Amino acid sequence: MDIPSSCSGGTLAMHFAGHESFHIREGWLRKGLLAVQGDPFVFSKEYPEDILGVGHNMVSAIRYWLRACGLANGLKAERGPKNALAFELTPLANRILKVDPYFEDDQTWALLHYQLATNRDFATTWYWTFNKLTARQFDQELVVNSLKAFIASQVKTRLSDSSLERDFYCLTRTYSTDADSDVSPEDSLDCPMSRLNLVEHLPSTKVFRMMAPKLESLTPPIFYHCLLQYRESKGITSPTLSFQEVLRGELSPGRVFNFDAETLFEHLSRLSKVRLLDYSKAAGLNTITLIETKRDRVLSEYYAHGGVLA
């Protein structure tokens, strides 16, 4: 469901429950990207499920996840079926198809998590949970009620609890591995993003906990790419950033990857060792100075050299 909203800084088109309650499945993003590559109007066909080889609701979910993960844009087109959207692959999608076409590298999923969690318009629940939620432990009631308050502060439109509950279920299944005997084998398939260990389901409870990925689970170039994207999204032109804004700033990689101060310091130390940035505590100020400012190069070098900049 789409809810247009005006907010400070521009228009926020909030979007909820567009995934048909399906989290991302292994192979879905590749399947969707190849289909769009073959025909930009694939999702407007009479029977796209025949092309994608999945059920009708799964087609809608794949279409949603391509957009939510920043891999495809739906554009109004002059040609093609009436009122149809022509889907166009983003530069990130084209790069992934070239360097990791089967989405086998966990760092690709870390990169996609950052795209998803910073997509305010199309993945509003993901954006809100990783950027606005202050509690490290949460359950459905807390998230749904807090989201309702957030939505009410933006628009007059009311959103049903069921839509938010579906989003909560899908978000937790995106990141947590949770064997549930009450679901079908198809529905119990884990999302590849669960390998990032960003959300943990506390056993025998309905409570979830935010987790920071292990140090070795997030390589310096991928983290740095997200740092540069954060800088661009904020319109920052200076090469310097403060430790606190990288740790807790909205859309910052520290916030999106659930870092505490110690974890961020460890990542900055690794980045300093490979000469991507300088980290200084001079005069009591924790200052980060970026050395490489072209994130395309950082990403290219990561995939070309197995995680190490040349």
Strand ranges in the chain using DSSP code E only, listed in sequence order: 2-7, 10-15, 72-76, 85-89, 137-138, 199-201, 208-210, 240-242, 277-280, 287-290
CATH number belonging to domain 215-304: 1.10.10.10
Encoding tokens for residue 212? 């920071």
CATH number belonging to domain 104-211: 1.10.10
The pLDDT of residue 279 is: 92
Contact indicator for 289, 277 with CB cutoff of 8 Å? yes
Amino acid at 69: C
Sequence ranges of the chain with CATH classification 1.10.10.10:
27-102, 215-304
The DSSP symbol for 191 reads P
> pLDDT digit of tens for each residue in the chain (310 aa)?
555 443 333 445 788 888 999 999 999 999 999 999 999 999 999 899 999 999 999 999 999 999 999 999 988 766 666 667 899 999 999 999 999 999 999 999 999 999 999 999 999 999 999 999 999 999 999 999 999 998 888 887 778 899 999 999 999 999 998 655 455 544 558 999 999 999 999 999 999 999 999 998 999 999 999 999 999 999 999 999 999 999 999 999 999 999 999 999 999 999 999 999 999 876 567 899 999 999 999 999 899 876 555 4
The pLDDT of residue 181 is: 43
Encoding tokens for residue 79? 């040609």
For the entire predicted model, the pTM comes to 0.91
Question: Does CATH number 3.30.360.10 belong to domain 27-102?
Answer: no
Task: Give the whole-angstrom CA distance, residue 137 versus residue 253.
Answer: 19
Query: Strand 137-138 relative to strand 208-210: parallel, antiparallel, unpaired?
Result: antiparallel
Encoding tokens for residue 257? 């990857």
Task: Give the whole-angstrom CA distance, residue 95 versus residue 87.
Answer: 17
